[in-house]
Amino acid sequence: MTSPLRTIKLLHTLVWALFAGAILAIPGFALWEQFTVVAGLIALVLCEVAVLALNRMRCPLTDLAARYTEDRQDNFDIYLPLWLARWNKWIFGTLFVLGLLFALARWLTREPVSL
């Protein structure tokens, strides 16, 4: 494996961890009624969704990594287990939608703020 590919895989893994963490944090912050944080996390994830949508549902780092290897396994461009790299969008897409629904339910059922 070339040094540029290692660097891209590491960067891709760090970016993935940031977005996966944001998705996993949404229900927790919603539970604590930290809706400003929830809104920021949702905006962050939606920016990533926009980047993916504009790039045919592929991370731009995948195309960059492809320049340095002939390997095309689902995890050739990221340090994730093959099964997780293969099902990543389904798993975290589902968790994101469920987190959004939970946050919305918490927001709609919150106690009114007394002034």
Compute how many other C-beta atoms are within 10 angstroms of the C-beta atom of residue 99: 24
pTM over 0.85, yes/no? yes
Per-residue pLDDT tens, the chain, 115 aa: give them.
789 999 999 999 999 999 999 999 999 999 999 999 999 999 999 999 999 999 999 999 999 999 999 999 999 999 999 999 999 999 999 999 999 999 999 999 998 777 7
Answer whether 35's CB lies under 8 Å from 103's CB.
yes
Report the pLDDT value the prediction gives residue 114, as an integer from 0 to 100.
Answer: 72
